[in-house]
């Protein structure tokens, strides 16, 4: 009661508090959690917030509340129990996750979760610095990463993690730093080259502009001084910044291949050498300014292109980093729940592993204990967490966002779905698409033609005006770089692939995007593609047996009891529909493959399954009700020794978006076909419902293959959409095969495109992005040809100075790369409904 009084007193000074002081959520009416800060009590919403807030106050860190500019995120206010951290206390694990920092000091990189504003960084830093044994903390606000050094004799990694968790954040050792290191150093080197070129360019301009402005009035001595100064400044630009161009040209020359680096290196080399000669001789023109500017602008265009590629592969890297390094294995499950930390590479099939909330699933497996929600967004693009309970499959690399789970490992290492996805992505990256090969070939011919033109220009100008011949030739070489051909096409393809991955669409072959954009016919499989493949209970009809008629709920409870241990899709539907209040226990449970199940409940012997199978037990003719069942549903009977008990009817429901996808594909001018091995009347029914005119049922795999071949003979570009397992032949024959992927099948899939999210509407996104990518590539090619058609003749006629040539060419490359980057914007916004509601609550 004290609390209430104090709260009332506080509310006299401040407006009545309706939100939690720590996390900002609305206060529940019966909340009685408080924290005293500087003598004023503040109400809190839950025990979790109370624990966190009290820890902050106890350590004298209340300025956090004065300086914070954002409220903490919701999840992290749930404190993790200290026991969770015992896992990191194992010396072997601690050694694996940290490195020796000299003497007794150890150092580890930590990933911090839950940082919302700069005050959080301060709070964590202060808390850790005050810990005995911690030698140094360095938190990067931008990357949410911390470097911690500690004295191994005085404290432990686990204690540090515990301290961070006690103030409401989640910290875990970050061990994939090495993977990122390579990408960062590449980027750093590129930035350095760019910086040196830019700096050199500006300084060279400073020396040479006065020479231009005074127009010969400058004394020869001073002019020579300016030239020497420019030469000294251009030296690092040519030797360091332009090194990749020379290296590329050298590589091309050795491979007897004409790449775009050849004319660039020739242009830079000639211009620089001629300028050096002119400087030493003290006569003739110098173009150090052109050289430096050309290098700078070219590097800028390359840097832009590199950024595009990096952003496209970033999802792939996140994926690779998603796999955790350590797992918590139960030594003797289920006898004891004692767990040990082991490195993931030591996990074996059949091991039992604990997956904590907030942790990633270490390998593929099946839930054997607990129920939770799993976030598979990085794998499938599906932003909603999926509920998982005993018997459900788990994909390695997905994130447990709910409760602790116990799983049995079913696949490890290279066999896991995550490894399969990464392999497919690698294959796609290594597979040069036709369109890029064409662009390469065109570029090579273009360079050859360009070199010939440059030679002709040099000879002709030598006759006309020998003093200008060199610089006109350099201008021709520089102005007409085939970057639009060689740079922009790969950039566009990478950007489109990256954007699609965010939609949960995996492109596994280089040609897939082009074929998808050009496809004229879409052939769909039915089961598992247009329909979910998961049976749904649509009707329960209790039947009058010899004794009495049971209620619907009783029938369902009996059926659920019989199917309790089964993994059949029909069993899932029955168990889900059964009332939770009644739980029958069955004995003598026997499964008959393909027909049904028999068991004893109470003292009645029951059978559930195909009508004929159940009729054998109850010895009665099939009931009238069975005849009234429509053709497009599946019927399952329940009967005991006295007679029929119930009739259950199931259907395979359409996937959400199936109708939209079919309609929108038709609007895009595509022909939609339905081809299925299922009963013709069911297929016709589905086709009618979706508005597909061309539907064929009862097709064998052979028929499907012939059907695709026939369409192709008529000149169709066929895209086949299937579940990737039943229609392998048809998928292989089609120009582009699209598979609905989920967990297990991904690793062995041979399809060109995989819809990881299992959402049909991702197909529409894929088709639209593929068309956009093709459009961008065509625009870029058109621009490149138009530009060169104008620029080369102008340069050959001597209207273009090397300076203008460099600027024009670099601007052209920049334009095409920027155009390709537009494709990246097609990624969907990655906000989950959950975080949306949290935002509302906070506001």
Partner 1 sequence: MEIVYLLVPLSLVLVFLIGAVFFWAVRRGQYDDLEGPAHRILMDDDRTGSG
- Work out which of 105, 229, 349, 458 binds partner 1, going by CB under 8 A: 229
Q: Which of residues 59-78 bind partner 1 (CB under 8 A)?
A: 59-63, 67
**Does 753 help bind partner 1 (rule: CB under 8 A)?**
no
**Does 196 help bind partner 1 (rule: CB under 8 A)?**
yes
**Does 831 help bind partner 1 (rule: CB under 8 A)?**
no
**Does 619 help bind partner 1 (rule: CB under 8 A)?**
no
Minimum Å gap between C-beta 158 and partner 1 is 24
Q: Which among 633, 663, 668 is positioned nearest to 651, based on CA atoms?
A: 633
**Does 130 help bind partner 1 (rule: CB under 8 A)?**
yes
Handedness of CA 173, 179, 182, 187 (dihedral sign): negative
Quick one: 60 or 698, whose CB is closer to partner 1?
Answer: 60
- Work out which of 176, 203, 307, 832 binds partner 1, going by CB under 8 A: 203
Minimum Å gap between C-beta 306 and partner 1 is 18
Quick one: 122 or 246, whose CB is closer to partner 1?
Answer: 122
Region near partner 1 per CB under 8 A, out of 23-31, 121-129, 155-163, 257-265:
121-129
Cα distances from 669 to residues 311, 512, 517, 665, 689, in angstroms, run 32, 19, 12, 7, 20
Quick one: 191 or 455, whose CB is closer to partner 1?
Answer: 191
Minimum Å gap between C-beta 178 and partner 1 is 18
Minimum Å gap between C-beta 182 and partner 1 is 18
Show the beta-strand stretches assigned E in 688-771: 694-696, 718-722, 736-740, 753-755
Quick one: 126 or 742, whose CB is closer to partner 1?
Answer: 126
Catalytic residue status for 364:
no
Residue 97 is encoded by which pair of tokens? Answer: 């996750």
Minimum Å gap between C-beta 147 and partner 1 is 10
Region near partner 1 per CB under 8 A, out of 134-142, 304-312, 758-766, 793-801:
134-142
Sheet with 505-507, strands from edge to edge, namely: 505-507, 753-755, 736-740, 718-722, 521-524, 671-675, 694-696
Region near partner 1 per CB under 8 A, out of 6-14, 116-124, 160-168, 585-593:
116-124
**Residue 93, C-beta contacts closer than 8 angstroms, at least 6 positions apart:** 87, 326, 341
Minimum Å gap between C-beta 113 and partner 1 is 17
Residue 771 is encoded by which pair of tokens? Answer: 């068309």
Region near partner 1 per CB under 8 A, out of 141-149, 159-167, 320-328, 388-396:
141-149
Pairing of strands 521-524, 718-722: parallel
Quick one: 286 or 443, whose CB is closer to partner 1?
Answer: 286
d(CA 44, CA 18): 9
For partner 1 (CB under 8 A), the number of binding residues is: 34
**Does 146 help bind partner 1 (rule: CB under 8 A)?**
no
Instruction: Tell me the β-bridge partners of 119.
Output: none
Minimum Å gap between C-beta 257 and partner 1 is 35
Minimum Å gap between C-beta 286 and partner 1 is 15
**Does 140 help bind partner 1 (rule: CB under 8 A)?**
yes
Instruction: Tell me the β-bridge partners of 755.
Output: 505, 740
Quick one: 56 or 586, whose CB is closer to partner 1?
Answer: 56
Q: Which among 740, 746, 821, 748 is positioned nearest to 780, based on CA atoms?
A: 821
Residue 717 is encoded by which pair of tokens? Answer: 């570009």
Which helix (H) or strand (E) segment holds residue 644: the answer is strand 644-651
Q: Which among 304, 409, 326, 307 is positioned nearest to 367, based on CA atoms?
A: 409
**Does 642 help bind partner 1 (rule: CB under 8 A)?**
no
Instruction: With beta carbons less than 8 A apart as the criterion, state whether 157 and 91 touch.
Output: no
d(CA 566, CA 590): 11
- Work out which of 232, 635, 666, 794 binds partner 1, going by CB under 8 A: 232
**Does 240 help bind partner 1 (rule: CB under 8 A)?**
no
Q: Which of residues 370-429 bind partner 1 (CB under 8 A)?
A: none
d(CA 544, CA 461): 105
CA 781 to chain centre: 29
Instruction: With beta carbons less than 8 A apart as the criterion, state whether 271 and 291 touch.
Output: yes
> Of 252, 440, 525, 640, which is the active-site residue?
525
- Work out which of 139, 359, 731, 763 binds partner 1, going by CB under 8 A: 139
Quick one: 146 or 502, whose CB is closer to partner 1?
Answer: 146
Sheet with 634-640, strands from edge to edge, namely: 536-542, 644-651, 634-640, 604-609, 596-601, 586-592
**Does 233 help bind partner 1 (rule: CB under 8 A)?**
yes
Per-residue mark of binding to partner 1, 206-225 (x: CB under 8 A)? xx-----------x--x--x
- Work out which of 97, 119, 323, 791 binds partner 1, going by CB under 8 A: 119
**Residue 346, C-beta contacts closer than 8 angstroms, at least 6 positions apart:** none
- Work out which of 226, 571, 599, 820 binds partner 1, going by CB under 8 A: 226
Please tell me whether residue 283 adopts helix, strand or coil conformation: coil
**Does 767 help bind partner 1 (rule: CB under 8 A)?**
no
Determine the angle formed by the axes of helices 434-464 and 261-281, rounding to 10 degrees: 30
Instruction: With beta carbons less than 8 A apart as the criterion, state whether 647 and 543 touch.
Output: yes
Which residues in this chain contact partner 1 in the complex, by CB under 8 A? 57, 59-63, 67, 117-119, 121-122, 126, 130, 139-143, 188, 192, 195-196, 199, 203, 206-207, 219, 222, 225-226, 229, 232-233
Q: Indicate which residues carry an active-site annotation.
A: 525
């Amino acid at each position: 009661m004290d609390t209430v009084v104090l709260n009332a007193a506080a509310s006299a000074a401040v407006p009545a508090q309706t939100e939690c002081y720590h996390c900002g959520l609305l206060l529940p009416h019966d909340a009685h959690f408080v924290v005293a800060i500087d003598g004023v009590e503040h109400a809190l919403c839950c025990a979790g917030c109370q624990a966190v807030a009290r820890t902050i106050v106890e350590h004298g860190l209340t300025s956090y509340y004065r300086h914070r500019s954002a409220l903490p995120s919701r999840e992290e206010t749930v404190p993790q129990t200290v026991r969770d951290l015992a896992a990191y206390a194992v010396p072997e694990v601690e050694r694996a996750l940290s490195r020796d920092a000299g003497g007794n000091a150890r150092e580890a990189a930590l990933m911090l979760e839950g940082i919302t504003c700069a005050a959080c960084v301060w709070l964590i830093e202060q808390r850790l610095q005050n810990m005995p044994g911690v030698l140094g903390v360095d938190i990067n606000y931008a990357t949410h990463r911390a470097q911690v050094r500690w004295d191994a004799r005085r404290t432990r990694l686990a204690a540090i993690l515990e301290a961070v968790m006690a103030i409401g954040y989640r910290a875990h050792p970050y061990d994939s730093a090495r993977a990122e290191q390579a990408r960062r150093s590449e980027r750093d080197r590129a930035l350095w080259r760019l910086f040196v070129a830019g700096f050199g360019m500006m300084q060279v301009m400073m020396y040479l502009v006065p020479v231009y402005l005074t127009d010969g009035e400058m004394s020869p001595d001073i002019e020579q001084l300016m030239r020497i100064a420019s030469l000294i400044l251009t030296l690092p630009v040519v030797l360091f910044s332009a090194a990749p161009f020379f290296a590329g040209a050298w590589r091309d020359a050795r491979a007897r291949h004409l790449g775009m680096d050849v004319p660039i290196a020739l242009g830079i080399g000639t211009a620089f050498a001629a300028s050096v000669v002119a400087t030493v001789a003290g006569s003739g023109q110098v173009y150090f300014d052109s050289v430096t500017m050309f290098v700078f602008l070219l590097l800028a265009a390359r840097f832009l292109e590199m950024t595009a590629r990096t952003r496209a592969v970033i999802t792939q890297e996140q994926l690779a980093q998603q796999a955790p390094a350590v797992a918590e294995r139960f030594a003797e499950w289920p006898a004891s729940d004692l767990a040990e930390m082991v490195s993931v590479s030591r996990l074996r099939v059949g091991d039992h592993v604990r997956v904590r909330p907030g942790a990633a699933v270490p390998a593929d497996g099946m839930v054997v204990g607990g129920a939770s929600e799993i976030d598979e967004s990085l794998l499938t693009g599906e932003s909603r967490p999926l509920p998982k309970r005993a018997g459900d499959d788990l994909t390695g690399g997905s994130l447990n966002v709910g409760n602790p789970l116990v799983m049995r490992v079913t696949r490890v290492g290279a066999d896991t779905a995550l490894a399969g996805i990464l392999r497919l992505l690698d294959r796609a990256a290594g597979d040069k698409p036709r369109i890029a090969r064409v662009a390469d070939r065109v570029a090579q011919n273009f360079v050859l033609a360009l070199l010939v033109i440059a030679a002709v220009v040099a000879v002709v100008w030598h006759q006309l005006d020998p003093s200008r011949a060199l610089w006109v030739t350099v201008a021709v070489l520089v102005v007409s770089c085939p970057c639009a051909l060689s740079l922009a096409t790969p950039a566009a393809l990478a950007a489109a692939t990256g954007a699609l991955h965010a939609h949960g669409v995996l492109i596994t072959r280089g040609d897939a995007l082009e074929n998808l954009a050009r496809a004229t016919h879409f052939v769909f499989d039915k089961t598992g593609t247009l329909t979910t493949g998961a049976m749904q209970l649509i009707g329960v009809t209790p039947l009058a047996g010899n004794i009495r008629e049971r209620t619907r709920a009783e029938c369902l409870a009996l059926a659920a009891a019989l199917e309790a241990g089964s993994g059949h899709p029909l069993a899932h539907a029955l168990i889900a529909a059964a009332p939770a209040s009644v739980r029958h226990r069955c004995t003598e449970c026997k499964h008959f493959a393909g027909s049904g199940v028999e068991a004893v409940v109470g003292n009645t012997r029951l059978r559930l399954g195909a009508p004929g199978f159940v009729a054998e037990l109850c010895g009665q003719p099939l009931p009238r009700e069975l005849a009234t069942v429509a053709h497009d549903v599946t019927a399952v009977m329940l009967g005991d020794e006295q007679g029929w008990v119930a009739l259950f009817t199931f259907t395979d429901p359409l996937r959400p978006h199936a109708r939209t996808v079919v309609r929108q594909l038709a609007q895009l001018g595509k022909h939609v076909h339905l081809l299925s091995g299922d009963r013709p009347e069911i297929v016709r029914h589905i086709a009618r419902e979706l508005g597909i005119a061309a539907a064929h049922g009862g097709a064998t795999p052979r028929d499907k293959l012939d059907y695709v071949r026939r369409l192709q003979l008529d000149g169709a570009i066929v895209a086949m959409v299937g579940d990737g397992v039943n229609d392998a032949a048809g998928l292989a024959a089609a120009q582009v095969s699209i598979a609905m992927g989920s967990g297990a099948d991904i690793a062995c899939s041979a399809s060109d495109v995989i819809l990881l999210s299992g959402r049909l509407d991702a197909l529409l996104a894929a088709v639209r992005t593929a068309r956009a990518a093709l459009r961008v590539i065509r625009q870029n090619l058109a621009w490149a040809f138009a530009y060169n058609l104008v620029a080369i003749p102008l340069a050959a006629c001597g209207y273009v100075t090397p300076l203008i040539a460099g600027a024009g060419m670099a601007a052209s490359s920049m334009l095409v790369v920027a155009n390709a980057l537009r494709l990246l914007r097609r990624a969907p916004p990655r906000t989950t409904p959950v975080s949306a509601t949290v935002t509302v609550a906070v506001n």
